[in-house]
Amino acid sequence: MTAVNKYPFVKNLSGEKPLIFPGLVQAGSTAEIKRGEICTYDETSTYFIPVSAVADRRYALAIANEEQKSDGLARYMEFMALRPDDVFEFALDAAAQVALGDGLELTASDSQKLTRDVDGDAVAFVVGVSNYPESGTTLRSISSAEVIFNPVYSYWMQRVLKNKLMKVVTVTDDITLKIEDCGALFLVTEAQTITLPNAIVPVGWNVKIVVGGDATVVIDPKPDTSGIYIKGALQAAGKYISMTDIGDFVELVWDGTNWIAANSLSGADSEITVEG
């Protein structure tokens, strides 16, 4: 495959301009880069290079916004960030009746094409509707598609904004959780009580509580009318649960009425205790 200079950016759904950032590239004699190539950040060499295999998604992705010619020196050049609202157009490796939300994978040895892979590990998703019919139900087959890249593969999202990091809070005193604590991990290092939010929280609000010391950690469900689904049953409303061994944890999710222990683990005594 021979890459060519292209400008794949179509639009940003929020009306923003492309976000350009500097990325380090090798001398052009080692790796030429064309504008519009999907590139991967090789953290071993610390350079951006054009993708050349499906497995290149292991590293973070960006799109070259200028050319690195064969006589170019090693330098910082422009790359386009892949943000959740950025729409790009890329060729497909085979024409297909793609639908909204179809998954697309990288294409081996071709940095300017994507491969339709509906149930695979998608690096991008179809958002264009140009092939939808004005009447009837038959989608037209197309050879290129408008896509948004999956943020988990974006250099900007993962290595700059670090948006997949979990908030970790070390607890040494009794604490009542707040709505802002959603998604956080609470590491409790001493004998303390963790009171779940008593304010209104949305369905899906979740928290992970881990025992970080040889002490009893008590979890108090709120409001008092709610119980915790754990140990094979919905426990009585307002009843505590407790954990005692380092590494014990429970992940709790609010379903609008009660707390669901979506994941839990007990250690040496093989027991998470429920208040009698």
Residue 233 corresponds to which tokens in the numbers above?
């049953």
- Can you give the pLDDT of all 276 residues of the chain as single tens digits? 689 999 999 999 999 999 999 999 999 999 999 999 999 998 778 999 999 999 998 889 999 999 999 999 999 999 999 999 999 999 999 999 999 999 999 999 999 999 999 877 899 999 999 999 999 999 999 999 999 999 999 999 999 999 889 999 999 999 999 999 999 999 999 999 999 998 889 999 999 999 999 889 999 999 999 999 998 899 999 999 999 999 999 999 999 999 999 999 886 666 788 886
Q: What span, in angstroms and rounded, lies between the C-alpha atoms of 141 and 148?
A: 19
Contacts of 39 (CB under 8 A, 6+ apart): 23, 33, 48, 49, 50, 51, 61, 62, 63, 64, 79, 111
Q: By three-state DSSP, how is residue 258 classified?
A: coil
Vertex 11: Cα angle to 107 and 35 (nearest 5): 50
How far apart CA 17 and CA 261 sit, in angstroms, is: 43
- For residue 266, the model assigns a pLDDT of 82
The Cα–Cα gap between 248 and 222 comes to: 21
Give the pair of three-digit tokens for residue 20. 């350009």
Predicted local distance difference test score (pLDDT) of residue 58: 86
Phi, psi of 56 (to 5 degrees): -65, -10
CA angle 35, 41, 45 (to 5 degrees): 115
Domains along the sequence of the chain with CATH: 1-161 (no CATH), 168-274 (2.60.120)
* pLDDT at residue 271, rounded to an integer: 77
Question: CA 27, CA 212: separation in Å to the nearest integer?
Answer: 49
Please state the pTM of the whole predicted model: 0.85
Closest residue by Cα to residue 243 from 185, 178, 194, 179: 194
